[in-house]
Amino acid sequence: MDNTLNKLEQKLNLNFTDKKLLRMAFIHRSYLNEHSDEKSPHNERLEFLGDAVLGLIVSEHLYKKYPRHPEGDLTNFRSSLVNARMLSKAASVLELGAYLYLSRGEEATGGRQRQYILANTFEALIGAIYLDLGSQKVTDFVKKNLLIYLPEIIEKKLYKDYKSLLQEKSQEVLNVTPLYRVLEETGPDHAKMFKTAVFLGKKRAAVGAGNSKQLAEQEAAKIALENWS
């Protein structure tokens, strides 16, 4: 493993037994296209595992921390914390983009700052920590680097379902139900980006973007509510 990742270990106060596993967490699919001699696979399998591990850690924390909140609140709290925006924010704070193995093309187009790549890398790192260092270490990592944002999310009510709020308001004021339409899909299948418009009657109220249709719709609804006031 190169010295750069050694520095990351020191920065995160982690000591991997399997250094190759840590390296794998930072190998983007594009890197392999230009490095046929690379023996390590890309990080998408680790990302898959990390997503599940993260969901469990956050769910258990919410269950224990907020015993008086119903399931619906806990679901909204979790969704607001484990989405691409928040995961990429946590990854940016840790400067994970600096450690990525990318193709020249991905590098040139700003891949080290791209939201979905950073979010996926954060999840891949969680998967690697879990496999190599165990459940307690990965739980400590998530608490220190992601769950710290939860109090602000709850205090500022950033967990609200904007689609539901927009529907309530539009039906009450305009007697119409919001309709969502995908305007554009870009990117490869494993990293799609969606641009979605929300319509109130015949009027296009707002446009949102995200790495899933659901996130793009939520962003469009949020902007529509902001424009309303």
Catalytic residue positions, numbered: 51, 123
- CA dist., res. 12 & res. 8, Å (int): 6
Structure tokens at 209: 């973007």
Nearest alpha carbon to residue 5 among 32, 29, 27: 27
C-beta neighbour count of 139 within 10 angstroms: 18
Nearest alpha carbon to residue 1 among 123, 132, 116, 120: 132
Calculate the CA 176 to chain-centre distance: 32
